[in-house]
Amino acid sequence: MAPKTYIADIAKYLGQEVTLQGWIYNSTQKGKLQFLMLRDGTGIIQGVIFKGNLPEELFDACLALTQESSVRLTGTVTEDKRAKGGYELQVSAVDIVQIAAEFPISPKEHGIDFLMEHRHLWLRSALQHAVLRVRHEVIRACRDYFDDLGFTLIDAPIFTPAACEGTTTLFETNYFDEKAYLTQSGQLYMEAAAMAFGKVYCFGPTFRAEKSKTRRHLTEFWMIEPEVAYCDLAMDMELAEGLLMKIVERVLENRREELLRLERDLSALEAIKRPFPRLDYDEASRMLKDAGSPFVFGDDLGAPDETLISQNFSSPVMVTHYPAAVKAFYMKRDPLRPERALCVDVLAPEGYGEIIGGGQREDDLDTLISRITAHHLPKSAFDWYLDLRKYGSVPHAGFGLGLERTVTWICGLQHIRETIPFPRTISRIYP
């Protein structure tokens, strides 16, 4: 009985007989020869079937193998320059697990809507493997980064009683005949956790019911949100900068092959260096005005403005001190310029725009109460949050990193939707 193995480990078995278990990625016949491209999730290898080496009925049975049929192939591993990857399997036995029905996704071109309609099958393709493996690496880098710094992972709830930020749209659910909402951010809960554990982060899904139809938006996306007690804006920015460096270093170290398959320009990632450029809102405004943007001083930066600024730098740009009026109620004001918030947005380079938003939180009870009133938020829903300012309030800060936007940038993709296994957008909840 030949040992079972994975294609990723095939080099160890050169000259030996092994059994591989997988699916037919593509196949082609040439008379008495058949070539079966087998994938098993770890890689792809070509199986060669020659009529003279097999019982005739087995050779004929293999002719019936369709794309994505599941098979166990047993054969000898050989080296062959003619094969992609350098190795081949000289097949001696075939165990057909199932003959697949006609697979909708052929090796030829398809439109994005068709592919998304078949997302559950599209995941089998090489490019989607590459993107989702980079996603996995980014997640691992984030978790390792915070874990190594002594942070505690504290999961935030997904059902929440009220908006974290009053302006945006919430998904409403019926929670035993009461209204509940899907979370827009774990931040307020992380503030509670930071007062308990000092350094914390959460990593979970986030929901926004905004009717945004752009390549940067999903209705369900994942965020990594650290929160640190006794932390000011400058320390917060150091933390964010370190996280992004860690992500970039790790994907360059471990996912080079996937990035190259995605035709990512690696030099753009290799060019990223600390310290990242830091601009305050006034400097950013001047840059936009010089570039001829219709930007109005006092407004939030629009998507084209973010693109314009980030294109001027090879590393992510940190834009700070936005007008408090355009930011959330919990942002702490700059004591030197009370009309400004102690906040930071990090814009990814190459025009990718905002991937991080964060800053220092308002830690004074009375100020926070007046902000909640001014924003017309239901105070009763925030009683627990206000308790954090009553019982040992300290300066603290944190940020949220949008995972899919980060992966879009790292992979150099045009659109965010391929960076999550099953995207949810305003027009898609299937499959």
Partner RNA sequence: UCAGGUGUAGCUCAAUCGGCAGAGCGGGUGGCUGUUAACCACUAGGUUGGAGGUUCGAGUCCUCCCACCUGAGCCA
**Minimal distance in Å, beta carbon 390 to RNA?**
26
Asked whether position 134 contacts RNA by CB under 7 A, the answer is no
Query: How many whole angstroms separate alpha carbon 293 and alpha carbon 306?
Result: 11
Q: Which two tokens stand for residue 268?
A: 């753009």
Query: How many whole angstroms separate alpha carbon 98 and alpha carbon 312?
Result: 54
**Minimal distance in Å, beta carbon 177 to RNA?**
27
DSSP 419: G
CA distances in angstroms from 106 to 27, 64, 125, listed in the order given: 12, 17, 10
Query: Measured from the CB atom, is 79 or 270 closer to RNA?
Result: 79
Asked whether position 186 contacts RNA by CB under 7 A, the answer is no
Q: Which of 250, 257, 302 is nearest to 272 (CA)?
A: 250
Q: Which stretch binds RNA (CB under 7 A): 10-18, 362-370, 387-395, 414-422?
A: 414-422
Q: What mask, x for binding RNA by CB under 7 A, covers residues 317 to 356?
A: ---------x--------------------------xxxx
**Minimal distance in Å, beta carbon 430 to RNA?**
9
Triad 357, 363, 369: Cα angle to 5°: 100
Q: Which of 292, 424, 274 is nearest to 346 (CA)?
A: 274
Query: Measured from the CB atom, is 356 or 368 closer to RNA?
Result: 356
Q: Count Cβ atoms below 10 Å from residue 79 Cβ, excluding itself.
A: 11
Q: Which residues in 88-107 contact RNA (CB under 7 A)?
A: 88, 102, 104, 106-107
Greatest alpha-carbon span in the chain: 87
Asked whether position 211 contacts RNA by CB under 7 A, the answer is yes
Query: Measured from the CB atom, is 218 or 309 closer to RNA?
Result: 218
Binding RNA (rule: CB under 7 A), the pick from 304, 323, 351, 395 is 304
**Minimal distance in Å, beta carbon 225 to RNA?**
9
Q: What mask, x for binding RNA by CB under 7 A, covers residues 232 to 271?
A: ----------------------------------------
Query: How many whole angstroms separate alpha carbon 170 and alpha carbon 162?
Result: 9
Q: Which residues in 50-69 contact RNA (CB under 7 A)?
A: 50-52, 66-67
Q: Which stretch binds RNA (CB under 7 A): 15-23, 78-86, 148-156, 246-254?
A: 78-86
CA distances in angstroms from 5 to 42, 174, 353, listed in the order given: 10, 49, 43
Query: How many whole angstroms separate alpha carbon 146 and alpha carbon 149?
Result: 5
